[in-house]
Amino acid sequence: METPVARAQGDRPAIEVRNLTKTYASQDGPIVALTDLSFAVAHTEFVTIVGHSGCGKSTLLRIISGLLPASSGVVLVRGQAVGAPLSDVGMVFQRPVLLKWRTILDNVMLPVEMLHLPRGPGAERAHDLLKLAGLIEFRHHYPAQLSGGMQQRAAICRALVHDPSLLLMDEPFGALDLMTREEMNFELLRIWSDRRKTTLLVTHSISEAVLLADRVIVMTSRPGMVADIMDVSLPRPRIPETKLDPRFAECVQAIGRKIGLLYM
Amino acid sequence: MTIVSVLATVAAWEILIWLFHIPGFLLPAPSAVLVEAVSRYPLYLYNSWVTFYETVLGFLLAAAIGVFLAVIIVYSRVIRNMIYPQIVALQIVPKVAIAPLLLIWAGYGLTSKVLLALLIAFFPIVVNMVTGLIAIEEELLDLCRILHSGRWQEFTKVRLPNALPYLFSSLKVASTLAVIGAVIGEFVGGNAGLGYLIIIANTEMNTRMSFVSLVCLSLLGFLLYGIVVAAERVFMPWEKWQSAQASVA
């Protein structure tokens, strides 16, 4: 088991967002995607962001990762302002986007190669991650030989191989069928509890958001803003029985009302 | 199965000729074609080699130039705007019409045939290669930016491998086009090659010679296509796993 790398963390949050606004220019005038967002994420905290499609949650994630610039406001990751894409980030998208011409192992090693990290330790971490994700027998297979869920697990390994301080996930299980999705939730929790990274996960499934997170950021759309940030006081480790806990249903209901779902 | 059906066709052809007493200059029997081929095989071997040489040279040049152009089109907006319209314009002009002109410029020898093969074959290569270099999932490009890949790594590790299937499919098309280009060149003004033989055979009403030349041309085309397919298997070993999905009928 990997010992966490010692970092001078102090009391600073891992992610700090202050008055974040994002506006796009369009033919019909400026579109405000995000309005005056403010929140913070502590180290090794698992935070989910939930909201309707179009509420800007993916935009928010891309701004935090540095892929997209903010229009105004402050975004700090580990105390540093985010200006360009961050390499200290592991990112998982809705599609696994593995390189189909590489084996699973070579895919997981991609960040090590691109960032010119030492190959030996990198390969060791890759093997450990693949073992953790239950993919070690498939390491010489090509992505096309794996199911969607397995490919996404490989994508998660790839996101962790360079030992980033931050894990950003944009609807990572959205393309999977419901059963695989549920399995993957617990897979993710298992992998996460082995090496606790500060994690920000975007989802449109309220029950997924509650199951995985320490806190849930609830967003409303048009314009995209934070409606509320709710604590999830369920004990860890989260197990399938957690869903039977009355607090789980309460949390899901409360979030549903916040989003404005009519049947909650 | 294919071999059986080919043999059956040949047998049927032979029988029909004999049955209806079709004159030899109109449609030769397979047996006559075979006799012609065997008895004068040095002639066909030599001319096949000439056409093969022209075709392969034109094809390889088309591939090299096509790939090179595609890369600079993708990476330089200035060059893209300058040359892409010209490439398209060149494509619209029928090469058959250019052939006589090329003959005047490049002479009756090898060069004009190679040039013609090159001109016909390179366009699909450029177009497909450009598509292959830019048809990348956005998330993958995002990943490259996050991992600080830089343009070179992004090119060698993502864009280039992604373009290979597109390239090879265009190479298959280009291989058949290169043959056509070489033959047209020989038709319009050559002194060697299978196209030249076909012209001679025409003037002499020697249909048997035409047929043997045609068969040689087909074999040549098959050979070139087969080489591309073999190269595809070498350069893209992962493709066999992809096609398993494609055949879910």
Q: Rounded to 10 degrees, what is the CA torsion of A142, A144, A149, A151?
A: 40
Contact call for B241 and A62, based on CB within 8 A: no
Residue A172 lies in a domain: no
| Residues forming beta bridges with residue A31, ordered by sequence position | A24
Per-residue pLDDT, B156? 95
Same domain (yes/no): A209, A80 = yes
Within a domain: A175: no
Please measure the distance between the N-terminal and C-terminal CA atoms of chain B and give it in whole angstroms: 22
Cβ contact (<8 Å) for B144 and A91? Answer: no
Report CB contact under 8 Å: B139, A142.
no
Q: Both A208 and A240 in a single domain?
A: yes
Q: Is B245's pLDDT higher than 60?
A: no
Give the chain A residue nearest B246 (alpha carbons): A144
Q: Which two tokens stand for residue A141?
A: 């297979």
Q: Which domain holds residue B216?
A: 30-132+164-235
CA A17/CA A168 separation, integer angstroms: 15
Residue A94 and residue A80 in one domain: no
Residue A144 is part of which domain span?
Answer: 89-164
Q: Are residues A78 and A138 in the same domain?
A: no
Phi and psi (nearest 5°) for A219? Answer: -115, 145
Whole-structure pTM value? 0.84
Question: Which DSSP string do the residues of A3-47 spell out, in sequence order?
Answer: PPPP---TT--SEEEEEEEEEE--TTS-EEEEEEEEEEE-TT-EE
Counting residues of chain B whose pLDDT is more than 70, the rounded percentage is: 96
**Does any domain span residue A32?**
yes
Q: Answer positive or negative: Cα dihedral of A170, A176, A181, A183.
A: negative
Summarised one tens digit per residue, pLDDT across range B80-139 is: 899 888 888 888 888 888 888 888 888 888 889 999 999 999 999 999 999 999 999 999
A82 vs A63: CA distance, rounded Å: 8
Report the alpha-carbon distance of residue B3 to residue A216 in Å, rounded: 67
**Considering only CA atoms, which of B180, B201, B151, B171 is closest in space to residue B36?**
B201
Of A116, A143, A164, the last residue of a domain is: A164
Shared domain check, A50 and A109: no
> Is B96 within the bounds of a domain?
yes
Nearest to A89 among B146, B157, B245 (CB): B146
Interface mutation target, options B143, B154, B164, B243, chain A, most CBs of A under 10 Å:
B143
Residues of A in contact with B244 (CB under 8 A): 144
**pLDDT, tens digit (0-9, with 9 covering 90-100), for B164-178:** 999 999 999 999 999
Q: Tell me whether residue B106 is in a domain.
A: yes
Cα separations in angstroms, A78 against A60, A75, A199, B128: 17, 10, 13, 44
pLDDT-derived band of residue B238, with 50, 70 and 90 as boundaries?
A: confident
Of B137, B157, B245, the CB nearest to A95: B137
What is the four-CA torsion angle of B74, B78, B83, B89, rounded to 10 degrees? 100
- Same domain, residue pair A40 and A65: yes
**pLDDT bucket at B243, cuts 50 / 70 / 90:** low
Residue A173 lies in a domain: no
What pLDDT shows up at residue B168?
Answer: 96
CA-closest candidate to residue B229, choices B215, B243, B249, B216: B243
Task: Find, in chain A, the residue whose alpha carbon is nearest to that of B158.
Answer: A99
Domain-located, residue B143? no
**Predicted interface score ipTM higher than 0.90:** no
Q: Are residues A96 and A160 in the same domain?
A: yes
- B154 in any annotated domain: no
Residue A170 lies in a domain: no
Mean pLDDT for B222-246 is: 82
**Domains contained in chain A, number:** 2
CATH code, domain carrying A259: 3.40.50.300
Q: What is the pLDDT along chain A (264 residues), one digit of tens a residue?
A: 333 333 334 568 899 999 999 988 888 888 888 888 999 999 999 999 998 877 788 899 999 999 999 999 999 998 888 888 888 899 999 999 999 999 999 999 999 999 999 999 999 999 999 999 999 999 999 999 999 999 999 999 999 999 999 999 999 998 888 899 999 999 999 989 888 899 999 998 999 999 999 999 998 877 788 888 999 989 888 989 999 999 999 999 999 888 876 554
- Assess whether A199 and A74 both reside in one domain: yes
- On whether both A116 and A148 belong to a single domain, the answer is yes
Residue B205 has pLDDT above 90, yes or no: no
pLDDT at A261: 66
Alpha carbon distances (Å) from A117 to A112, A114, A206, B225: 5, 8, 38, 42
Mean pLDDT to the nearest integer, B240-245: 60
Name every chain A residue with its beta carbon within 8 A of the beta carbon of B149: 114
Between residues A6 and B66, the one the model is more confident about: B66
Q: Answer yes or no: do A104 and A141 share one domain.
A: yes
DSSP state of A143: G
* A137 and A150 fall within a common domain: yes
Does the residue A3 lie in any domain? Answer: no
- Here the tokens at position A36 are 């005056």
Q: Is residue B16 part of a domain?
A: no
Only one residue has tokens 């066709």, namely B9
Residue B248 has pLDDT above 60, yes or no: no
pLDDT of residue A262: 53
Handedness of CA B89, B90, B92, B93 (dihedral sign): positive
Looking at the structure of chain B, the number of domains it has is 1
Q: What is the dihedral sign for C-alpha B119, B121, B125, B127?
A: positive
Task: Write the CATH number for B125.
Answer: 1.10.3720.10
Residue B146 has its nearest CB partner, among A86, A99, A101, at: A86
- List b or e across A235-258, with b for residues whose CB sees 16 or more CB atoms inside 10 angstroms: eeebeeebeeeeebeebbebbbeb
Q: How far is CA A79 from CA A83, A190, B124, B161, in A?
A: 12, 28, 52, 38
Kindly determine whether residue A91 and residue B157, on different chains, have CB atoms separated by under 8 Å. Answer: no
Mean predicted confidence (pLDDT) in B198-224: 90
Let me know if residue B19 belongs to a domain. Answer: no
> To which H or E segment does residue B141 belong?
helix B138-146
What strands lie across the sheet with A225-231, from one edge to the other?
Answer: A89-92, A166-170, A198-203, A46-50, A215-220, A225-231
Q: Say if residue A99 is in the same domain as residue A46.
A: no
Residue B48 CA: distances (Å) to CA of B119, B171, B206: 21, 21, 18
Q: B239 to chain A nearest CA, in Å?
A: 8
In a domain, B171, yes or no: yes
Is there a domain that residue A231 lies in?
yes
Least confident stretch, A12-16, B15-19, B241-245: B241-245
In a domain, residue A186? The reply is no
Residue B121 lies in a domain: yes
